[in-house]
Amino acid sequence: MPSAAIYDCEGPCLSARERAFFRDADPWGFILFARHCESPNAIRSLCAELREAVGREDAPILIDQEGGRVARLKAPHWREHSPMSVFGELWRLDPGKARSAIRLNAYLLGRMVSDLGINVDCVPVLDVPQLDAHDIIGDRALATHPDEIAALGRAVLDGLMAGGALPVIKHIPGHGRALCDSHESLPRVIASKGDLRAIDFAPFRSLNDAPMAMTAHVIYEAYDPERPATTSPTVIADVIRGEIGFDGLLMSDDLKMKALSGSINRRVEDTISAGCDVALCCNFDFDEKVEAARAAPMLAGAAGARADRALSGRARETYEIEAAYEELEALLKPVLV
Protein backbone atom coordinates (compact mmCIF):
# COMPACT_ATOMS: atom_id res chain seq x y z
CA MET A 1 0.00 0.00 0.00
CA PRO A 2 1.66 3.28 -1.09
CA SER A 3 1.99 6.38 1.06
CA ALA A 4 -0.14 9.48 0.51
CA ALA A 5 2.64 11.53 -1.09
CA ILE A 6 4.04 12.62 -4.44
CA TYR A 7 7.74 13.53 -4.73
CA ASP A 8 10.14 14.81 -7.34
CA CYS A 9 13.81 13.84 -7.59
CA GLU A 10 17.00 15.87 -7.71
CA GLY A 11 18.01 15.42 -11.33
CA PRO A 12 17.45 13.53 -14.60
CA CYS A 13 18.38 10.19 -13.04
CA LEU A 14 18.10 8.72 -9.56
CA SER A 15 20.96 8.59 -7.11
CA ALA A 16 21.43 5.42 -5.06
CA ARG A 17 20.24 7.33 -2.00
CA GLU A 18 17.05 8.44 -3.75
CA ARG A 19 16.37 4.97 -5.10
CA ALA A 20 16.60 3.51 -1.59
CA PHE A 21 14.43 6.27 -0.17
CA PHE A 22 11.67 5.80 -2.73
CA ARG A 23 11.76 2.03 -2.19
CA ASP A 24 11.23 2.50 1.55
CA ALA A 25 8.84 5.50 1.43
CA ASP A 26 6.79 3.99 -1.44
CA PRO A 27 5.06 7.22 -2.51
CA TRP A 28 1.87 7.02 -4.55
CA GLY A 29 3.49 8.98 -7.35
CA PHE A 30 6.10 11.36 -8.69
CA ILE A 31 6.25 14.72 -10.46
CA LEU A 32 8.72 15.98 -13.06
CA PHE A 33 10.06 19.49 -13.66
CA ALA A 34 12.14 21.06 -16.44
CA ARG A 35 15.38 19.89 -14.83
CA HIS A 36 14.29 16.30 -15.42
CA CYS A 37 13.49 16.83 -19.11
CA GLU A 38 16.78 16.72 -20.98
CA SER A 39 15.64 14.47 -23.83
CA PRO A 40 12.86 12.02 -24.64
CA ASN A 41 14.98 8.96 -23.93
CA ALA A 42 16.25 10.44 -20.66
CA ILE A 43 12.66 10.96 -19.48
CA ARG A 44 11.63 7.45 -20.48
CA SER A 45 14.59 6.07 -18.56
CA LEU A 46 13.77 8.19 -15.49
CA CYS A 47 10.11 7.14 -15.53
CA ALA A 48 11.19 3.51 -15.65
CA GLU A 49 13.62 4.08 -12.76
CA LEU A 50 10.96 5.74 -10.63
CA ARG A 51 8.44 2.96 -11.19
CA GLU A 52 11.04 0.29 -10.60
CA ALA A 53 11.95 1.94 -7.29
CA VAL A 54 8.40 1.52 -5.97
CA GLY A 55 7.65 -1.72 -7.81
CA ARG A 56 4.47 -0.44 -9.47
CA GLU A 57 4.21 -0.24 -13.25
CA ASP A 58 1.19 2.06 -13.04
CA ALA A 59 2.66 4.49 -10.48
CA PRO A 60 1.47 7.96 -11.54
CA ILE A 61 4.10 10.32 -12.90
CA LEU A 62 2.86 13.90 -13.16
CA ILE A 63 3.98 16.94 -15.11
CA ASP A 64 2.71 20.51 -15.61
CA GLN A 65 2.47 20.79 -19.38
CA GLU A 66 -0.22 23.41 -19.92
CA GLY A 67 1.21 25.28 -22.90
CA GLY A 68 2.34 28.88 -22.95
CA ARG A 69 4.52 29.89 -20.00
CA VAL A 70 3.84 26.70 -18.02
CA ALA A 71 5.64 23.99 -19.96
CA ARG A 72 8.31 21.63 -18.63
CA LEU A 73 8.87 20.02 -22.03
CA LYS A 74 10.50 22.63 -24.25
CA ALA A 75 12.13 23.06 -27.64
CA PRO A 76 14.09 21.67 -29.36
CA HIS A 77 12.77 18.25 -28.39
CA TRP A 78 9.11 19.21 -28.01
CA ARG A 79 6.68 21.53 -29.78
CA GLU A 80 5.39 24.69 -28.20
CA HIS A 81 1.68 24.93 -27.48
CA SER A 82 -0.30 28.16 -27.14
CA PRO A 83 -1.48 29.34 -23.72
CA MET A 84 -4.97 28.14 -22.92
CA SER A 85 -6.45 31.64 -23.12
CA VAL A 86 -6.11 31.47 -26.91
CA PHE A 87 -8.99 29.00 -26.97
CA GLY A 88 -11.13 31.41 -24.99
CA GLU A 89 -10.42 34.02 -27.67
CA LEU A 90 -11.48 31.55 -30.35
CA TRP A 91 -14.66 30.78 -28.38
CA ARG A 92 -15.79 34.38 -28.85
CA LEU A 93 -15.55 33.90 -32.61
CA ASP A 94 -16.76 30.31 -32.92
CA PRO A 95 -17.57 28.14 -29.87
CA GLY A 96 -17.71 24.97 -31.96
CA LYS A 97 -14.26 25.51 -33.42
CA ALA A 98 -12.95 26.41 -29.97
CA ARG A 99 -14.17 23.10 -28.52
CA SER A 100 -12.66 21.15 -31.43
CA ALA A 101 -9.36 23.03 -31.22
CA ILE A 102 -8.89 22.69 -27.48
CA ARG A 103 -9.78 19.00 -27.50
CA LEU A 104 -7.23 18.43 -30.26
CA ASN A 105 -4.67 20.53 -28.38
CA ALA A 106 -5.25 18.49 -25.24
CA TYR A 107 -5.02 15.26 -27.21
CA LEU A 108 -1.61 16.34 -28.52
CA LEU A 109 -0.47 17.26 -25.01
CA GLY A 110 -1.63 13.85 -23.83
CA ARG A 111 0.30 12.13 -26.62
CA MET A 112 3.35 14.27 -25.91
CA VAL A 113 3.56 13.22 -22.28
CA SER A 114 2.26 9.65 -22.51
CA ASP A 115 4.78 8.80 -25.23
CA LEU A 116 7.45 9.54 -22.60
CA GLY A 117 5.94 7.36 -19.88
CA ILE A 118 4.24 10.26 -18.07
CA ASN A 119 0.61 9.40 -17.33
CA VAL A 120 -0.76 12.54 -15.60
CA ASP A 121 -0.78 16.10 -16.95
CA CYS A 122 -1.86 18.77 -14.45
CA VAL A 123 -4.39 20.52 -16.66
CA PRO A 124 -6.88 22.12 -17.04
CA VAL A 125 -6.79 25.33 -14.99
CA LEU A 126 -10.46 26.04 -14.18
CA ASP A 127 -9.85 29.28 -12.28
CA VAL A 128 -12.07 32.20 -13.30
CA PRO A 129 -9.74 35.21 -13.70
CA GLN A 130 -10.70 38.59 -12.28
CA LEU A 131 -9.47 41.89 -13.69
CA ASP A 132 -7.86 43.09 -10.46
CA ALA A 133 -6.25 39.77 -9.55
CA HIS A 134 -2.57 38.81 -9.66
CA ASP A 135 -1.48 37.57 -13.09
CA ILE A 136 -0.22 34.19 -11.81
CA ILE A 137 -3.31 32.75 -13.51
CA GLY A 138 -3.61 35.25 -16.38
CA ASP A 139 -3.39 33.56 -19.78
CA ARG A 140 -3.38 30.13 -18.15
CA ALA A 141 -7.15 30.52 -17.71
CA LEU A 142 -9.31 28.96 -20.40
CA ALA A 143 -11.65 31.93 -20.68
CA THR A 144 -13.23 34.65 -18.55
CA HIS A 145 -16.76 33.32 -17.96
CA PRO A 146 -17.56 30.23 -15.83
CA ASP A 147 -19.76 28.60 -18.49
CA GLU A 148 -17.10 29.00 -21.17
CA ILE A 149 -14.42 27.64 -18.85
CA ALA A 150 -16.58 24.62 -18.03
CA ALA A 151 -17.25 23.83 -21.69
CA LEU A 152 -13.62 24.22 -22.73
CA GLY A 153 -12.45 22.36 -19.63
CA ARG A 154 -14.66 19.38 -20.53
CA ALA A 155 -13.02 19.25 -23.94
CA VAL A 156 -9.58 19.30 -22.30
CA LEU A 157 -10.49 16.35 -20.08
CA ASP A 158 -11.76 14.37 -23.05
CA GLY A 159 -8.81 15.19 -25.30
CA LEU A 160 -6.13 14.57 -22.71
CA MET A 161 -7.50 11.15 -21.79
CA ALA A 162 -7.81 10.26 -25.47
CA GLY A 163 -4.11 11.11 -25.72
CA GLY A 164 -3.27 8.66 -22.95
CA ALA A 165 -2.85 10.97 -19.95
CA LEU A 166 -5.01 11.71 -16.93
CA PRO A 167 -6.09 15.29 -16.15
CA VAL A 168 -5.95 17.22 -12.88
CA ILE A 169 -8.40 20.11 -12.50
CA LYS A 170 -6.88 23.04 -10.62
CA HIS A 171 -6.85 25.07 -8.44
CA ILE A 172 -9.97 23.93 -6.62
CA PRO A 173 -12.10 25.74 -5.41
CA GLY A 174 -10.71 28.69 -7.42
CA HIS A 175 -7.56 30.85 -7.57
CA GLY A 176 -8.90 33.51 -9.92
CA ARG A 177 -9.48 36.22 -7.28
CA ALA A 178 -6.08 35.92 -5.59
CA LEU A 179 -4.31 39.27 -5.29
CA CYS A 180 -0.89 37.68 -4.84
CA ASP A 181 1.03 34.66 -6.10
CA SER A 182 0.69 31.73 -3.67
CA HIS A 183 4.22 30.68 -4.62
CA GLU A 184 5.35 33.79 -2.74
CA SER A 185 2.67 34.62 -0.14
CA LEU A 186 -0.75 33.57 1.12
CA PRO A 187 -3.69 35.06 -0.82
CA ARG A 188 -6.88 36.03 0.99
CA VAL A 189 -10.18 36.20 -0.87
CA ILE A 190 -12.91 38.33 0.69
CA ALA A 191 -15.70 37.56 -1.79
CA SER A 192 -19.09 36.48 -0.43
CA LYS A 193 -20.30 32.90 -0.47
CA GLY A 194 -22.85 33.90 -3.11
CA ASP A 195 -20.23 35.30 -5.48
CA LEU A 196 -17.89 32.36 -4.94
CA ARG A 197 -20.67 29.84 -5.60
CA ALA A 198 -21.93 31.63 -8.71
CA ILE A 199 -18.54 32.31 -10.30
CA ASP A 200 -15.44 30.67 -8.82
CA PHE A 201 -16.90 27.29 -7.88
CA ALA A 202 -19.05 26.91 -11.01
CA PRO A 203 -16.50 25.39 -13.45
CA PHE A 204 -15.34 22.92 -10.80
CA ARG A 205 -18.93 21.94 -10.07
CA SER A 206 -19.51 21.31 -13.79
CA LEU A 207 -16.42 19.10 -13.99
CA ASN A 208 -16.76 17.43 -10.60
CA ASP A 209 -16.43 14.00 -12.23
CA ALA A 210 -12.76 14.64 -13.12
CA PRO A 211 -10.45 11.91 -11.80
CA MET A 212 -8.15 14.27 -9.88
CA ALA A 213 -8.04 17.82 -8.55
CA MET A 214 -5.37 20.06 -7.02
CA THR A 215 -6.17 22.46 -4.20
CA ALA A 216 -5.57 26.21 -4.00
CA HIS A 217 -3.34 27.65 -1.27
CA VAL A 218 -5.91 30.43 -0.82
CA ILE A 219 -7.91 31.61 2.21
CA TYR A 220 -11.61 32.09 1.51
CA GLU A 221 -12.70 34.30 4.37
CA ALA A 222 -16.38 33.53 3.88
CA TYR A 223 -15.71 29.89 4.79
CA ASP A 224 -12.51 29.76 6.86
CA PRO A 225 -10.70 33.01 7.71
CA GLU A 226 -7.71 31.22 9.24
CA ARG A 227 -6.65 28.41 6.91
CA PRO A 228 -6.14 28.09 3.14
CA ALA A 229 -8.21 25.52 1.28
CA THR A 230 -5.36 23.00 1.31
CA THR A 231 -5.35 22.74 5.11
CA SER A 232 -8.97 23.70 5.83
CA PRO A 233 -11.29 20.85 6.86
CA THR A 234 -14.20 23.26 6.37
CA VAL A 235 -13.34 24.18 2.79
CA ILE A 236 -12.55 20.60 1.80
CA ALA A 237 -15.65 19.05 3.41
CA ASP A 238 -18.20 21.80 2.88
CA VAL A 239 -17.03 23.29 -0.42
CA ILE A 240 -14.89 20.84 -2.41
CA ARG A 241 -16.65 17.61 -1.37
CA GLY A 242 -19.96 19.32 -0.54
CA GLU A 243 -21.03 22.28 -2.68
CA ILE A 244 -18.81 21.39 -5.64
CA GLY A 245 -19.45 17.66 -5.24
CA PHE A 246 -15.97 16.51 -6.23
CA ASP A 247 -15.35 12.88 -5.25
CA GLY A 248 -12.14 12.18 -7.14
CA LEU A 249 -8.59 12.08 -5.81
CA LEU A 250 -7.74 15.38 -4.12
CA MET A 251 -4.08 16.38 -4.02
CA SER A 252 -2.58 19.49 -2.49
CA ASP A 253 -0.73 22.08 -4.49
CA ASP A 254 3.03 22.15 -3.86
CA LEU A 255 3.62 22.16 -0.10
CA LYS A 256 6.91 24.03 -0.44
CA MET A 257 5.16 27.17 -1.65
CA LYS A 258 5.50 30.24 0.57
CA ALA A 259 1.74 30.56 1.03
CA LEU A 260 2.11 27.85 3.67
CA SER A 261 4.03 28.05 6.93
CA GLY A 262 5.29 25.62 9.53
CA SER A 263 7.58 22.62 9.43
CA ILE A 264 7.49 20.07 6.61
CA ASN A 265 5.89 17.39 8.76
CA ARG A 266 3.26 19.88 9.98
CA ARG A 267 2.39 20.85 6.41
CA VAL A 268 1.94 17.22 5.40
CA GLU A 269 -0.05 16.37 8.53
CA ASP A 270 -2.31 19.42 8.19
CA THR A 271 -2.92 18.69 4.52
CA ILE A 272 -3.93 15.08 5.06
CA SER A 273 -5.92 15.71 8.23
CA ALA A 274 -7.87 18.48 6.46
CA GLY A 275 -9.09 15.96 3.89
CA CYS A 276 -6.60 15.94 1.01
CA ASP A 277 -5.89 12.42 -0.17
CA VAL A 278 -2.30 13.06 -1.24
CA ALA A 279 0.39 15.62 -0.32
CA LEU A 280 2.35 17.09 -3.24
CA CYS A 281 5.93 17.45 -1.98
CA CYS A 282 7.89 19.39 -4.61
CA ASN A 283 11.44 20.71 -4.46
CA PHE A 284 12.09 19.29 -1.00
CA ASP A 285 15.72 18.60 -0.21
CA PHE A 286 16.54 15.05 0.83
CA ASP A 287 16.14 15.66 4.56
CA GLU A 288 12.78 17.34 3.95
CA LYS A 289 11.64 14.32 1.92
CA VAL A 290 12.55 12.08 4.84
CA GLU A 291 10.58 14.34 7.18
CA ALA A 292 7.59 14.30 4.84
CA ALA A 293 7.73 10.52 4.58
CA ARG A 294 7.48 10.21 8.35
CA ALA A 295 4.31 12.31 8.32
CA ALA A 296 2.57 10.83 5.26
CA PRO A 297 0.15 8.01 6.11
CA MET A 298 -0.65 5.03 3.95
CA LEU A 299 -3.08 5.75 1.12
CA ALA A 300 -5.93 3.62 2.42
CA GLY A 301 -9.69 3.61 2.88
CA ALA A 302 -11.74 6.11 0.87
CA ALA A 303 -8.59 7.93 -0.26
CA GLY A 304 -7.10 4.69 -1.55
CA ALA A 305 -10.31 3.88 -3.40
CA ARG A 306 -10.32 7.33 -5.03
CA ALA A 307 -6.69 6.82 -6.07
CA ASP A 308 -7.54 3.47 -7.67
CA ARG A 309 -10.48 4.98 -9.54
CA ALA A 310 -8.38 7.91 -10.74
CA LEU A 311 -5.88 5.63 -12.47
CA SER A 312 -8.53 3.73 -14.42
CA GLY A 313 -9.70 6.52 -16.69
CA ARG A 314 -7.54 6.59 -19.85
CA ALA A 315 -8.70 5.38 -23.29
CA ARG A 316 -6.03 6.22 -25.85
CA GLU A 317 -6.96 7.11 -29.41
CA THR A 318 -4.49 7.21 -32.30
CA TYR A 319 -4.29 10.04 -34.80
CA GLU A 320 -1.42 10.93 -37.12
CA ILE A 321 0.51 13.58 -35.19
CA GLU A 322 1.58 15.82 -38.07
CA ALA A 323 -1.93 15.90 -39.49
CA ALA A 324 -3.31 16.72 -36.04
CA TYR A 325 -0.93 19.66 -35.63
CA GLU A 326 -1.86 20.94 -39.09
CA GLU A 327 -5.55 20.75 -38.19
CA LEU A 328 -4.92 22.57 -34.89
CA GLU A 329 -2.98 25.31 -36.65
CA ALA A 330 -5.83 25.81 -39.12
CA LEU A 331 -8.41 26.01 -36.34
CA LEU A 332 -6.35 28.57 -34.42
CA LYS A 333 -5.48 30.71 -37.43
CA PRO A 334 -8.16 33.37 -36.74
CA VAL A 335 -6.67 34.17 -33.31
CA LEU A 336 -2.98 33.68 -34.02
CA VAL A 337 -2.55 35.89 -37.12
The string of pLDDT tens digits covering residues 191-244 is 999 999 999 999 999 999 999 999 999 999 999 999 999 999 999 999 999 999
Residues 6 or more apart whose Cβ sits within 8 Å of residue 251: 6, 168, 212, 213, 214, 215, 276, 277, 278, 279, 280
Task: Quote the pTM value.
Answer: 0.97
The yes-or-no verdict on residue 315 having pLDDT over 80 is: no
Q: Which of 251, 290, 291, 315 is nearest to 119 (CA)?
A: 315
Cα–Cα distance for residue pair 65/83, rounded to 1 Å: 10
Q: Which residues pair with 5 in a beta bridge?
A: 279
Which is it for strands 219-220 and 188-189: parallel, antiparallel or unpaired? parallel
The yes-or-no verdict on residue 145 having pLDDT over 80 is: yes
pLDDT digits (tens, 9 = 90+) for 17-75: 999 999 999 999 999 999 999 999 999 999 999 999 999 999 999 999 999 999 999 99
- CA torsion sign for 252, 255, 258, 263 is positive
Q: Which of 275, 277, 282, 268 is nearest to 308 (CA)?
A: 277
Question: Residue ranges of the domains in the chain?
Answer: 3-336
- pLDDT given at position 70: 97
- pLDDT given at position 317: 81
- CA torsion sign for 200, 206, 207, 209 is positive
Cα–Cα distance for residue pair 139/141, rounded to 1 Å: 5
Asked if residue 299 lies in contact with residue 278, where contact means CB atoms within 8 angstroms, the answer is yes
Q: How confident is the model at residue 121 (pLDDT cuts 50, 70, 90)?
A: very high
- pLDDT given at position 313: 76
Cα–Cα distance for residue pair 167/314, rounded to 1 Å: 10
Asked if residue 263 lies in contact with residue 291, where contact means CB atoms within 8 angstroms, the answer is yes
Residues taking part in catalysis: 183, 253
Q: Which fold has domain 3-336?
A: TIM Barrel (3.20.20)
Mean pLDDT of the chain: 97
pLDDT digits (tens, 9 = 90+) for 254-300: 999 999 999 999 999 999 999 999 999 999 999 999 999 999 999 99
| Angle ∠(138,142,145) on CA atoms, nearest 5 | 95
The yes-or-no verdict on residue 318 having pLDDT over 90 is: no
Q: Three-state DSSP class for 212?
A: strand
Residues 6 or more apart whose Cβ sits within 8 Å of residue 298: 1, 2, 3, 4, 304
